[in-house]
């Protein structure tokens, strides 16, 4: 049986305009977004998502994604 790929938790803004702006950011700036509570472009609260299935999470403390079952990398 093959081992599932480990997933991660990302913080994103759900606003389309902001998501488009974030695509062009450097990896260093994308890393900074993980510490933000509010989007620096529109001031909306950032949302946690599984970077495997892209479903919204309610906690960054989960060990596994409740939607796709992927284990989160430490």
| Mean pLDDT for all residues in the chain | 87
Report the distance separating Cα 74 and Cα 61, nearest Å.
10
Higher pLDDT, 5 or 66: 66
Query: Which letter does DSSP use for residue 71 in this model?
Result: B
Q: What is the pLDDT of residue 65?
A: 94
Averaged pLDDT for residues 15-19 = 88
Chain centroid to CA 49? 4
Confidence of residue 1 (pLDDT cuts 50, 70, 90): very low
């Amino acid at each position: 049986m093959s081992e599932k790929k480990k997933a991660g938790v990302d913080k994103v803004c759900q606003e389309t305009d902001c998501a488009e702006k974030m695509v062009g950011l450097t990896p260093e700036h994308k890393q900074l977004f993980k510490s933000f509570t509010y989007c620096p472009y529109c001031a909306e609260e950032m949302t946690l998502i599984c970077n495997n299935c892209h479903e919204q999470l309610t906690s960054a403390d989960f060990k596994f994604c409740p939607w796709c079952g992927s284990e989160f990398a430490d």
